[in-house]
């Protein structure tokens, strides 16, 4: 994942004895605010400490169109994870509709609307699988870094700026609004201020891509350490489903 945002600061002009004093020389705020980093570490520890988890994600993604403009697509999905090697997700909305399965041995993408699927051998851990998923299959999870065994090690890499924007409320949940920058990307994250310290919103702007495309994800329905039955992350194709290459599955899914 690429990373994230800075705030401008201004000097204040002090008035003294009816005269205008020289601008105060206050120390510049640190480029990396330790409070922002500490909040990020707490959130990462919560996610990394969960042996299993589920959540719902509502996404807004900007994608380039043939006309040269960006189109705004709205989608939603449900994600389930079991460490170290199981992941399941289903997506719908304006983005391509498809289901995704990873059982520690294979990854499978299935387009239920057209009943086509693709299966490929996969590495033995979620971390290894996610690292090569987009390059090999064309599938991209905006929240993928949050699913890693050590989210902080990924999302804090190469930070050039980290600030606490301030308190905020996301869908009724009190959060800390944090902003970060790294080469090629600005990103913001809204983290619960409760003991759970779970992410509630993520905004990413890709500053090294034409048009500065932006992605926004809102998280809800978090469940930490839920129970999953045997076979919850396995895919059994319907009798009338057809196996095709991965890229073709995504193209087919778009024809919902």
Tell me if 95 sits within 8 A of 86, measured CB to CB. Answer: no
Cβ contact 164:30 at 8 Å: no
Whether 9 is covered by a domain: the verdict is no
Q: Which pLDDT does position 23 carry in this prediction?
A: 44
Tell me, yes or no, whether 105 lies in a domain: yes
Instruction: Give the pLDDT confidence of 205-233 residue by residue, as tens digits.
Output: 989 888 888 999 999 999 999 999 999 99
C-alpha distance across the termini of the chain, in Å: 29
Average pLDDT score over residue span 36-42: 97
Strands 116-121 and 242-243 come out as parallel
Q: Which residues contact 217 (CB under 8 A, 6 or more apart)?
A: 57, 58, 59, 60, 142, 143, 201, 202, 203
Q: 24 in a domain, yes or no?
A: no
**CA diameter of the chain:** 87
pLDDT of residue 68: 86
The verdict on residue 22 lying in a domain is no
Give this prediction's pTM. Answer: 0.81
Does residue 88 have a pLDDT over 90? yes
CATH code for the domain of 74: 2.50.20.10
**pLDDT band (50, 70, 90) for residue 22:** very low
Residue 157 resides in a domain = yes
Tally of domains in the chain: 1
Q: Tokens 């987009």, residue?
A: 134
pLDDT digits (tens, 9 = 90+) for 52-87: 999 999 999 888 888 989 899 999 999 999 999 999
List pLDDT tens digits, range 108-147: 999 888 899 999 899 999 999 988 877 776 666 778 899 9
55 located within any domain: yes
* Residue 113, token pair as written in the block: 């609307």
Please report the pLDDT score of residue 251 as a whole number. 59
The mean pLDDT value of the chain amounts to 84
The DSSP code sequence of 212-242 is: --EEEEEEEEEEES----TTTT-----TT-E
pLDDT over 60 at 191, yes or no? yes
The more confident residue out of 150 and 252 is 150
Query: What digits encode the pLDDT tens for the residues 145-169?
Result: 999 999 999 999 999 999 999 999 9
- Which residues constitute the domain of residue 165? 31-253
Residue 132 domain flag: yes
For residue 18, is pLDDT > 60? no
Residue 2 lies in a domain: no
């Amino acid at each position: 994942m690429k990373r994230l945002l800075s705030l401008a600061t201004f000097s204040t002009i002090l008035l003294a004895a009816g005269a205008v004093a020289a601008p105060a020389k206050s120390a510049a705020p640190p480029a990396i605010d330790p409070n922002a980093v500490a909040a990020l570490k707490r959130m990462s520890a919560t996610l990394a400490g969960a042996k299993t988890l589920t959540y719902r994600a509502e996404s807004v993604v900007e994608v380039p169109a043939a006309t040269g403009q960006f189109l705004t697509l709205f989608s939603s999905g449900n994600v389930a994870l079991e460490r170290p090697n199981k992941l399941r997700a289903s997506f719908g909305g304006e983005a391509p509709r498809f289901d995704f399965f990873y059982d520690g041995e294979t990854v499978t993408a299935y387009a239920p609307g057209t009943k086509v699927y693709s299966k490929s051998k996969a590495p033995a851990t979620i971390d290894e699988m996610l690292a090569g998923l987009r390059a090999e299959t064309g599938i991209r999870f905006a929240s993928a870094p949050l699913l890693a065994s050590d989210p902080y090690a990924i999302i804090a890499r190469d930070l050039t700026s980290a600030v606490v924007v301030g308190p905020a409320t996301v869908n009724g949940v009190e959060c800390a609004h944090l902003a970060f920058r790294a080469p090629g990307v600005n990103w913001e994250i809204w983290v619960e201020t409760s003991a759970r310290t779970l992410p509630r919103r993520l905004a990413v702007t890709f500053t090294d891509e034409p048009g500065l495309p932006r992605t926004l994800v809102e998280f809800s329905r978090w469940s930490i350490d839920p129970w999953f039955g045997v076979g919850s992350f396995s895919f059994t194709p319907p009798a009338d489903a057809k196996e095709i290459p991965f890229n073709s599955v995504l193209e087919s899914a778009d024809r919902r």
